Amino acid sequence: MTADAAIQTTREQVAALHAELVRYGLVVWTGGNISGRVPGEDLFVIKPSGVEYDELAADNMILCDLDGNVVPGTLGSERAPSSDTAAHAYVYRNMSHVGGVVHTHSDYAAAWAARGEAIPCVLTAMADEFGGEIPVGPFAIIGDDSIGRGIVETLDGHRSRAVLMQNHGVFTIGKDARDAVKAAVMTEDVARTVHFSRQLGEPIPIPQEKIDALFDRYQNVYGQKPQGAL
Amino acid sequence: MTADAAIQTTREQVAALHAELVRYGLVVWTGGNISGRVPGEDLFVIKPSGVEYDELAADNMILCDLDGNVVPGTLGSERAPSSDTAAHAYVYRNMSHVGGVVHTHSDYAAAWAARGEAIPCVLTAMADEFGGEIPVGPFAIIGDDSIGRGIVETLDGHRSRAVLMQNHGVFTIGKDARDAVKAAVMTEDVARTVHFSRQLGEPIPIPQEKIDALFDRYQNVYGQKPQGAL
Amino acid sequence: MTADAAIQTTREQVAALHAELVRYGLVVWTGGNISGRVPGEDLFVIKPSGVEYDELAADNMILCDLDGNVVPGTLGSERAPSSDTAAHAYVYRNMSHVGGVVHTHSDYAAAWAARGEAIPCVLTAMADEFGGEIPVGPFAIIGDDSIGRGIVETLDGHRSRAVLMQNHGVFTIGKDARDAVKAAVMTEDVARTVHFSRQLGEPIPIPQEKIDALFDRYQNVYGQKPQGAL
Amino acid sequence: MTADAAIQTTREQVAALHAELVRYGLVVWTGGNISGRVPGEDLFVIKPSGVEYDELAADNMILCDLDGNVVPGTLGSERAPSSDTAAHAYVYRNMSHVGGVVHTHSDYAAAWAARGEAIPCVLTAMADEFGGEIPVGPFAIIGDDSIGRGIVETLDGHRSRAVLMQNHGVFTIGKDARDAVKAAVMTEDVARTVHFSRQLGEPIPIPQEKIDALFDRYQNVYGQKPQGAL
């Protein structure tokens, strides 16, 4: 595939995936954002800042280099990219296997994040998808690399593709943008179920060896074709 | 009806019923699955693995024998069936009156399951539909017959058509796939209402003889035609 | 209006109003039901039993006399009316100013009902709509007049148009079917909000004279034309 | 723009924005209302009283002067304006920088309001949007200027564009109607997330200097063009 074709395909995928954030109720107003690395290029595509979900389309997605700078003269480049672009760029620069990044303030996950509390692995679906707890990253605010660094330091070497940034929200990574969106959807789903379970008592922990067995199987067997662990 | 016609009808019903899981918010992403026994045959139809709900159709449902093996050369057989196929097959082999099986991780039901706690019968709708509490089945993971065995051992001889598998989610059975879907919908509904009720105090138990009277009446009178108890 | 025209209009209104129960998430599957008195006649129109919401239409609504008997030979009379028909009939026989009755198991209201606890009046919207708390009616099961009697005994002389039947769900009344549906929608809304408020502390009571002032004003001024208090 | 054109544009915007209240689940039945000041005129446009959301359109919005009187002979003037019109008018008379006002009883925000408790700033999104906690206004009932006065006294000089009126609901203000709607949407979103977080423990406070930095940045940088702080 040529670079132009790869860019166009990534634009289309990233634009379309934003509808999943709406479908699953993970975002309100213009909040949240998805980016996708352009395969074979040192580039990624990300949502513009402050634009409504109904208006997102391939042509207004914004193309950035791995320092988070908009590539001048490209489609959509007259607009500002997502205010979280620096964090996405930091992840792409420092985690070469990551092909997609998602950020939301989805309610149940953000509630755990506001307490600075990891979500314990008490559901087989969490063992499958995240291989254990969903960890908490540091408190960090926009303006420098501290959010990106917090994501990478928390997730590097961790099975989880999701991190709860303290007092903030969720960042998820994936082998591509779709995989990161799936992680964002599943994060909110397990954040909600474990929240409900804890409201009326203490969920039963799953033994570590069972978590390991579930994670290994799910990463290698589930679905229509094998998925490599991220 | 010929076997081919029965298979085709079951494919259509099972495919269409998946929309009810979406409508009632019982599933996210590609999670959850429905199967239906083909009337008069030692066969059942089940959802493919890892395929999106929007893409499900009669022609990509998968036909399996009662050992859970895909019937070669049939429509959809190029795909893998649901990763829960072995559990469905175990139920069909061991509960001859069951014509449909549903599996979800619906949030409130899964929250009870994560605590390993049965849902007490404190609503007349639960007495009607389940004849008492919704019981908990054992912790069991994918890979052998332990999930199927846990379902059957818990539900065999029990009035409830639903079981909360510990740390996992819900399996429901029914006289046909539609009846099992109804049980899945009602399970989440009562799991949610009893959860809410317990959050602010203790729900009032319903006396056993009233539960018995409600269950008996509902199984025999409700709706447009009598339904045999499962 | 002729009796036939009044019946037809009532059929259309009652059928259409069921969509509001779905829109506001007050019902699942085939649960819940609405009836409307035929103006000027000793008749009412009610939902058939066990029929899906998508299939409800004027022509399959069922016409009953005030003893709850289906009027033979009328449209829809080949089907059974709602299993709650006796309760609706009892209300119409004993509360001549009631023109509509609604029954749901809406989740938050049913959660209060399962504890047998009235919803306290801590929201100005409750004072407006219900004039005070939403009361609890007795535990009663289907099979005789005990549900209908419980509704009437609880609501007769009470400002509230809604009653929480213990361990069961909600019945609401109104000057017509639409007014009773509004009461059902508002009941769940306040049941939910007061539930949320109580989860984190104790809501502040509203002084009785303020409740009285709000109720009086709302019943006489709000909306495009004055509404008589029920 | 002529006065007539400005009125028409405001009618269209205010009518259309009501759909956002429905989309985000902030209102039920005919509850809630939005108004917008007509740029350059001592007039505002507001929702009619007791009319369904599906029927709202530019032509049935109601034009009022800053005392809350309907302008006779204008489109929609045969109907009564929202019963909260006096409160909106009070805000426009007393806060000249306000171009839009929204009122809802959205559930989580109203739950905080029923306890008379401010929502603490424990989310970076709250710091961005509200610059600190969302404050509580006094208990006040319809009939005189006490609601409007309570809104103005609470929000005047406060960073927050939202106030929780005790036992009642939310009023938000904005530079225009759209900005006030955004504030209403974000109020419910943070009310919900902080509620969830508090249910299982104590959220971590955000240091004041970080709140200040986030609020300053968001008001000046976010989105496609700079927004002045209200």
**Of the residues D107, D128, D145, D216, which is catalytic?**
D128
Q: What is the ipTM of this complex?
A: 0.95
The tokens of C228 are what? 């008589």
pLDDT recorded at residue A11: 98
pLDDT recorded at residue D37: 98
Q: How many domains does chain B have?
A: 1
Task: Please check the confidence at residue B50 and state whether its pLDDT lies above 70.
Answer: yes
A196 assigned to some structural domain: yes
The tokens of B230 are what? 């499962």
Give the confidence band of C143 by pLDDT, cuts at 50, 70, 90: confident
CA distances from B198 to A200, B119, B136, B203, C91 (A): 8, 11, 18, 6, 31
Chain B contact for A200 (CB, 8 A cutoff): yes
Q: What subunits touch chain B, counting only 3 or more CB pairs under 8 A?
A: A, C
User: Containing domain of residue C216, as a range?
Assistant: 3-220
Residues 6+ apart with CB under 8 A from D207: none
**What distance in Å separates the CA atoms of residue C120 and residue C197, rounded to the nearest whole number?**
11
pLDDT recorded at residue B220: 82
Q: What does the DSSP assignment read for chain D?
A: --HHHHHHHHHHHHHHHHHHHHHTT---TT--EEEEEPTTSSEEEEPBTT--GGG--GGGSEEEETTS-B-TTSTTTTSPB-TTHHHHHHHHHH-TT--EEEEE--HHHHHHHHHT-PBP--SHHHHHHHSSPBPEE----BTBSHHHHHHHHHHTT-S-SEEEETTTEEEEEESSHHHHHHHHHHHHHHHHHHHHHHHTS-PPPPPHHHHHHHHHHHHHHSSSS-----
Q: Do D203 and A115 touch (CB under 8 A)?
A: yes
> Chain B window 84-123: which residues touch A at a Cβ cutoff of 8 Å?
105, 107-108, 110-112, 114-117
C8 assigned to some structural domain: yes
Whether residue A65 lies in the annotated active site: no
pLDDT recorded at residue D223: 55
Tell me which of A213 and B226 has the higher pLDDT. A213
Nearest chain A residue to B191, by CA: A196
Give the confidence band of B219 by pLDDT, cuts at 50, 70, 90: confident
Average the pLDDT over B17-35 and give the result: 98
What mean pLDDT, rounded, does chain B reach? Answer: 95
Nearest chain D residue to A167, by CA: D123
Q: Do B167 and A124 touch (CB under 8 A)?
A: yes
Task: Please check the confidence at residue C137 and state whether its pLDDT lies above 80.
Answer: yes
Would you give the DSSP letter of residue A101? E
Which of D26, D179, D197 has the most A C-beta neighbours within 10 Å, making it the best mutation to test the interface with A? D197
Task: Please check the confidence at residue C228 and state whether its pLDDT lies above 50.
Answer: no
Helix axes D177-199, C177-199, angle to 10 degrees: 60
> Which chain A residues contact residue B80 at CB under 8 A?
223-224
Q: What is the pLDDT of residues D82-94, one digit of tens each?
A: 999 999 999 999 9
pLDDT recorded at residue A98: 98
Contact A184, A26 (CB under 8 A): yes
Q: What is the pLDDT of residues D41-84, one digit of tens each?
A: 999 999 999 999 999 999 999 999 999 999 999 999 999 999 99
Task: Please check the confidence at residue D230 and state whether its pLDDT lies above 80.
Answer: no
Give the confidence band of D224 by pLDDT, cuts at 50, 70, 90: low
Q: Give all strands of the β-sheet with B62-65 in edge-to-edge order.
A: B62-65, B43-46, B33-37, B100-104, B169-174, B162-165, B136-137
The CATH code of the domain that includes C111 is 3.40.225.10
Q: Do B49 and A124 touch (CB under 8 A)?
A: no
The tokens of C78 are what? 């080949």
B227 assigned to some structural domain: no
Average the pLDDT over B76-97 and give the result: 97
Give the confidence band of D227 by pLDDT, cuts at 50, 70, 90: very low
Question: Which residue reads 């005047």 in tokens?
Answer: D156
Give the confidence band of C1 by pLDDT, cuts at 50, 70, 90: confident
Nearest chain C residue to D111, by CA: C197
The tokens of A213 are what? 């067995």
For each of chain A's 230 residues, which pLDDT tens digit applies? Answer: 799 999 999 999 999 999 999 999 999 999 999 999 999 999 999 999 999 999 999 999 999 999 999 999 999 999 999 999 999 999 999 999 999 999 999 999 999 999 999 999 999 999 999 999 999 999 998 888 999 999 999 999 999 999 999 999 999 999 999 999 999 999 999 999 999 999 999 999 999 999 999 999 988 866 554 343 34
Considering only the beta carbons, identify the residue of D182, D196, D213 that sits closest to A107: D196
pLDDT recorded at residue A230: 45
Nearest chain B residue to C199, by CA: B200
A226 assigned to some structural domain: no
Average the pLDDT over C161-168 and give the result: 98
Q: Do A141 and D125 touch (CB under 8 A)?
A: no
Give the confidence band of C195 by pLDDT, cuts at 50, 70, 90: very high
B228 assigned to some structural domain: no
pLDDT recorded at residue C226: 39
Q: What is the pLDDT of residues C32-60, one digit of tens each?
A: 999 999 999 999 999 999 999 999 999 99
Q: Do A203 and B114 touch (CB under 8 A)?
A: yes
pLDDT recorded at residue A224: 56
Nearest CA-CA distance, residue D223 and chain C, Å: 33
Considering only the beta carbons, identify the residue of D30, D168, D195 that sits closest to C124: D168
D156 assigned to some structural domain: yes
Q: What is the pLDDT of residues B99-126, one digit of tens each?
A: 999 999 999 999 999 999 999 999 999 9
D228 assigned to some structural domain: no
Chain D contact for A169 (CB, 8 A cutoff): yes
pLDDT recorded at residue D134: 98
pLDDT recorded at residue D142: 87
Task: Please check the confidence at residue B225 and state whether its pLDDT lies above 70.
Answer: no
**What distance in Å separates the CA atoms of residue C57 and residue C11, rounded to the nearest whole number?**
8
The tokens of C164 are what? 């929480």
Q: Do A123 and B114 touch (CB under 8 A)?
A: yes
**What distance in Å separates the CA atoms of residue C89 and residue C70, rounded to the nearest whole number?**
11
Give the confidence band of D226 by pLDDT, cuts at 50, 70, 90: very low
Average the pLDDT over B157-177 and give the result: 97
Average the pLDDT over C179-184 and give the result: 98
C135 assigned to some structural domain: yes
Task: Please check the confidence at residue C200 and state whether its pLDDT lies above 60.
Answer: yes
